[in-house]
Amino acid sequence: MSLKFNQSSTKTQQLADYLQKAISENNLKVGEKLPSINDLSKKYHVSRDTVFKSFLILKEKGLIDSMQGKSYFVASHTTEVFLLLDEYSQFKESLYRSLRNKLPLNYKIDLWFHNYNENLFNTIIKEEKGKHSKYIVMNYHNEKFSNILSEIDKKKLLLLDFGKFDKKGYSYICQDFDDSFYNVLSSVKDRLSYYEKLILVFNKSHKHPQSSIDYFIKFCEDNLFPYEVMDGFSEVDNIEEKSLYIAIKQSDVVNLVKRSRFEGMKMGKDFGLIAYNDNPFYEIIGDGISTISIDFNVMGSLAADFVLTGSKIQTFIPTNINIRNSF
């Protein structure tokens, strides 16, 4: 066993992670005695206190136990879970925390982000396939199945979020960006009639499915709402009075709020605003920003069920509207 320390975390945590990986890969088997604190201290050039604290971390997770507080042995096996998300956001953090909180401590989550980069996505999958018990992956495209995913055992793979492509019998927990978007707007049609125009702020640089534009237009035309699709909202764009803005990208929401303050316009009265994908901050900005969103806590909880049971799951999380005071 070899270990090289770096600056990513404390030596205590790195040693604990290293021993946990050895348990996960069966290099240290259940019932097997661990090297002594003195031996590990000398081998890895760390203090006895560092080794002892690493053992405490593993003991708290239930992975090791001690005999009369002296020698330590492997008490249970650890499970490595691979989690590949598209990019960091507050609602992805909600998903992660929900997943983490439902899994036992001896389940280790290896978290990655592909940032919608196909080459990076493929590289990560190639390097990590075969190393984990379960794989939870957000694909980088809503319309296209990533062929490299076929190299992972279907029983071990769960697809998240995007999923308009043929999922070929895989387990998935996805959201619908088309009919569900249309139906949510229909559910508040009477409130929307207060506004003279509906404006979808759809930043072309964002990876939100383009098909949502079609369903927004369909809703507006079916219900005779004047409409517009904007390619983002900058700090110098003027807010149109008596218009409702539906903003996909968080930075566009920020710019709309900042501009409204500059122009002295009040959300919910002078103009309306709905953000896509809920965020804890949206509850406290102004008098609250309404959102169209799935519950990412539910997505994380269902993903944990897949990891724990291995049972096949194929579901779309309901899309709801959280009505606050912004429209």
3-24 residue pLDDT tens: 889 888 899 999 998 998 888 8
Average pLDDT over residues 69-86: 87
CATH of domain 79-175+296-317: 3.40.50.2300
Confidence of residue 144 (pLDDT cuts 50, 70, 90): confident
183-206 residue pLDDT tens: 999 999 999 999 999 999 998 888
Does the pLDDT value for residue 149 go beyond 80?
Answer: yes
Out of 3.40.630.30, 3.40.50.2300, 3.40.50.300, 3.30.9.10, the CATH code matching 179-293 is 3.40.50.2300
Residue 269 confidence (pLDDT) = 93
Residue 171 confidence (pLDDT) = 96
Output the 3-class SS for the chain. Answer: CCCCCCCCCCHHHHHHHHHHHHHHCCCCCCCCECCCHHHHHHHHCCCHHHHHHHHHHHHHCCCEEEECCCEEEECCCCEEEEEEECCCCHHHHHHHHHHHHHCCCCEEEEEEECCCCHHHHHHHHHHHCCCCCEEEEECCCCCCCCHHHHHCCHHHEEEEECCCCCCCCCEEEEECCCHHHHHHHHHCHHHHCCCCEEEEECCCCCCCCCHHHHHHHHHHHHCCCCEEEECCCCCCCCCCCCEEEEECCHHHHHHHHHHHHHHCCCECCCEEEEEECCCHHHHCCCCCCEEEECCHHHHHHHHHHHHHHCCCCEEEECCEEECCCCC
293-313 residue pLDDT tens: 999 999 999 999 999 999 999
Residue 68 confidence (pLDDT) = 67
Does the pLDDT value for residue 70 go beyond 80?
Answer: no
Residue 289 confidence (pLDDT) = 96
Residue 1 confidence (pLDDT) = 55
Does the pLDDT value for residue 150 go beyond 80?
Answer: yes
Domain spans, the chain: 11-74, 79-175+296-317, 179-293
Average pLDDT over residues 128-147: 88
79-175+296-317 shares its CATH topology with 179-293: yes
Fold observed for domain 11-74: Arc Repressor Mutant, subunit A (1.10.10)
- Global pTM reads 0.79
